[in-house]
Amino acid sequence: MIAAGGTADPLAGVRALALDSVRWLVASSPDRIQVLCSPADPANVARGVTTPLGERVARSLLSAAGFDREIVVSTSESESPVSTGVLIVGDGSARRGEKAPGHLDDRAFTFDSTIESALRACDADTLATLSVDLGAELLAAGVPAFRALGALAGGAEHTCEMTYSGDPLGVQYWVARWQCAS
């Protein structure tokens, strides 16, 4: 895919894999989908954009996947699950290179590795206890969403299929599918 200005779009592959995973979720025919995402960025709210970025991404993906039922958005791990399908939208650190939005911070690699290992192992406890403060320092906007997943999935057995892990543009992204084993 070519982006504006004639350059290759470095996120086209990530978006395609994310859409495939959302189609997989929609294929299970849930009556509703709960979207777990981080709250709206205060800087965006100050500019009048009050809808969280994760919610906007999730709604776009769900629409493209043909989902036309109820969507419930949660921005806190304290909110209880209300659905049979759950879509988590969050990213890792944005400090993985000199040209990254937050420039290079070597701690980002260890932090993101912890998240990836927890996602791959379906380790809800690790996700539920991710450091909000360190996440904020590393511009890891997805930490609240990952903590919410950890709180929601705790105590149940899951399997994981990781279809993408990479850091185009210096921001860590994952695409993974968790399925309840019971």
* Residue 61 belongs to a domain: yes
End-to-end CA distance of the chain: 39
User: What is the radius of gyration, based on Cα positions, of the chain?
Assistant: 16
Instruction: DSSP for 80-139, please give it.
Output: PP--SEEEEE----S-SSTTSTT---THHHHHHHHHHHHHHHT-HHHHHT--HHHHHHTT
Q: How many CA atoms lie within 13 A of 78 on its CB side?
A: 0
Domain hosting 162: range is 12-176
* Residue 5 belongs to a domain: no
Largest CA distance in the chain: 49
Does the structure show a pLDDT above 70 at 112?
Answer: yes
* Residue 181 belongs to a domain: no
Structural tokens at position 55 = 């919610």
Q: For residue range 45-71, list pLDDT tens digits in order.
A: 999 999 999 999 999 999 999 999 999
Residue 112 is part of a domain; what is its CATH number?
A: 3.40.830.10
* Residue 18 belongs to a domain: yes
Does the structure show a pLDDT above 80 at 7?
Answer: no
Q: For residue range 147-176, list pLDDT tens digits in order.
A: 999 998 988 899 999 999 999 999 999 999
Cβ-count burial 81-101 (b if 16+ within 10 Å, e if not): eebebbbbbbbbbbbbbeebe
Q: For residue range 17-49, list pLDDT tens digits in order.
A: 999 999 999 999 998 999 999 999 999 999 999
Phi-psi region of 66 (alpha: psi -120 to 50; beta: other; left: phi over 0): left
Q: Are the CB atoms for 153 and 122 separated by under 8 Å?
A: yes
* Residue 4 belongs to a domain: no
* Residue 1 belongs to a domain: no
Instruction: Domain count for the chain, please give it.
Output: 1
8: pLDDT confidence band, cut at 50, 70 and 90? confident
> Which amino acid is it at 179?
Q
3-class DSSP assignment, residue 74: strand
123: pLDDT confidence band, cut at 50, 70 and 90? very high
